[in-house]
Structure 1
């Protein structure tokens, strides 16, 4: 029996992932995020790159704002499951927080607040259980997995760089943007771990993985990416530990407090109001905005910190 043109179009639309994008956007909208589909962010060469779904939580703080953005890549892969490779490498919670892809103001507040004790209770900053790479099964070369991971990291970098292109005086207002990369796939997801006792790889079907990625040429640090199957996204948003919504409340509270401190520091040209929590950052030196603050500050109002640049893993 010949397939009708309408049915062919329907199958094409599904395979291109458009229903997945609509479904993903809807799931964020019903949780009160500000959502955009097919958002375009320009790269450093001015070329527009598409973001499938952008889900934003916006918090005004005076004339400044804190924005936490889920940058989402949606991929249809029913015919070729994804396999992620997991190891036992660990990271410090404070380093995971400090190394979020952020605007310059976002980097400053994430670095300052990174050692907050509350972060240790958040699933997004859990220091273990990472995959380090992956593949789309039955594919060769730079497959859909690689394209999706590189794409979502690049989009996070493009979005945060856009906010830094604004001319703004820190003592007047700041644009603190934090990105959380997420890949939603419609298809199978598997996790491969090495079993030394049998010298074999063990393969398990999963619905959520945390991938640490260091393969983007524009970024030297690790990026943590959540990879979630489409049928698990509701559960991920609702019951991931204490729910992603509650985790965002903690982020907003801690980062918002740091942003208020930073604003006051620039207004009074002092570092004394900025509280820097103890913990390894895995970053050499302070973010640029904090260096600028240090130059503005008078000698007797310099920042005292217990922050460490030690390596973020054990």
Structure 2
């Protein structure tokens, strides 16, 4: 390395460290180590704005046939300002259907998730990850709060992934929005005595609703950089549990394909 190259590399390093790029690459690496197929800077179609947009990370899990597809669509946000999650256990005591994130229409047609949510391994995993959150903000942000934009971006990307109908086979798709931050996360709730309580956490969850253009609702997970390896392993367990829950649909697909191959053709 020459003397002229050193200042150049130093300037690029200083620039990169001031962006979210290191956090994005770290997140990609963590999910890759958990066995996910991971893509960085993935484009998706924003149907509301009628343009292509970019999501930082997409971590992908599927069954061996690719019939069940689970996407963790991830926004990475680097900031020194704390992220605040408003929680209310009275209003959100347990996970709901949209704790699975968004899913394709055929999922609801073939498996009524709400009927066996608490009896399945997937339901139990969602119970472990449930935090009764309903609001998400970044402290000290004034009117320019990046939390809403990050949640909206993750939700739109999730919607695009479950509504992508490319291919001849009707696949079962799940898309779970996630925000990874390198800032503190604080949960805030109103106590029974009417006072606000604050608790620093390394992971939380908030239900998020938006019209894009029709109403979409999903749980968005917020994970700190330090805790990401642990929760990436939990997300892998969620994906595996979803695949296991869809076993009857996978078996029916294999059976139908086998019957189609053995069915005699026209004389």
| Mapping 1:157-196, distance limit 5 Å | 157-163=159-165, 166=166, 168=168, 173-196=169-192
Contact 2:95–2:130 (Cα < 8 Å) also in 1: no
Equivalent residue number for residue 262 of structure 2: none
CA distance in 2, matches of 1:150, 1:236: 22
CA distance in 2, matches of 1:179, 1:94: 15
CA distance in 2, matches of 1:194, 1:9: 45
Compute the displacement of 1:47 (Å): 0.8
Equivalent residue number for residue 229 of structure 2: 234
State the TM-score, normalized to the length of structure 2: 0.81
State the TM-score, normalized to the length of structure 1: 0.70
The reply to whether residue 222 of structure 1 matches residue 222 of structure 2 is no
Change (3 A) 1:209 1:128: closer
The reply to whether residue 118 of structure 1 matches residue 120 of structure 2 is yes
Change (3 A) 1:218 1:127: farther
Change (3 A) 1:204 1:115: same
More moved, 114-123 vs 141-150: 114-123
Compute the displacement of 1:153 (Å): 0.3
- Name the SS of the counterpart of 2:120 in structure 1: helix
CA distance in 2, matches of 1:126, 1:114: 17
Compute the displacement of 1:127 (Å): 9.2
Equivalent residue number for residue 66 of structure 1: 68
- Name the SS of the counterpart of 2:159 in structure 1: helix
| Mapping 1:295-314, distance limit 5 Å | none
Once the two structures are superposed, what CA deviation does each residue of 1:4-30 show, in whole Å capped at 9, x if it has no partner? Answer: 775554343223210000000001111
The reply to whether residue 105 of structure 1 matches residue 87 of structure 2 is no
CA distance in 1, matches of 2:144, 2:255: 47
Contact 1:96–1:125 (Cα < 8 Å) also in 2: no
Contact 2:122–2:238 (Cα < 8 Å) also in 1: no
- Name the SS of the counterpart of 1:42 in structure 2: strand
Compute the displacement of 1:220 (Å): 2.5
Q: How big is the alpha-carbon RMSD for the aligned residues of Structure 1 and Structure 2?
A: 2.9
- Name the SS of the counterpart of 2:53 in structure 1: strand
Q: Which runs of 5+ in 2 are unaligned?
A: 1-6, 260-267
Match of 2:135 among 129, 133, 140: 133
Compute the displacement of 1:60 (Å): 4.2
Match of 1:253 among 244, 257, 261: 244
Equivalent residue number for residue 278 of structure 1: none
Change (3 A) 1:128 1:245: closer
CA distance in 2, matches of 1:96, 1:125: 12
Contact 2:68–2:171 (Cα < 8 Å) also in 1: yes
CA distance in 2, matches of 1:213, 1:266: 39
Change (3 A) 1:95 1:161: closer
Once the two structures are superposed, what CA deviation does each residue of 1:255-287 show, in whole Å capped at 9, x if it has no partner? Answer: 24235447868999xxxxxxxxxxxxxxxxxxx
- Name the SS of the counterpart of 1:215 in structure 2: strand
Report the count of equivalent residues.
Answer: 249
Compute the displacement of 1:217 (Å): 3.9
The reply to whether residue 41 of structure 1 matches residue 47 of structure 2 is no
Compute the displacement of 1:134 (Å): 2.0
The reply to whether residue 31 of structure 1 matches residue 34 of structure 2 is yes
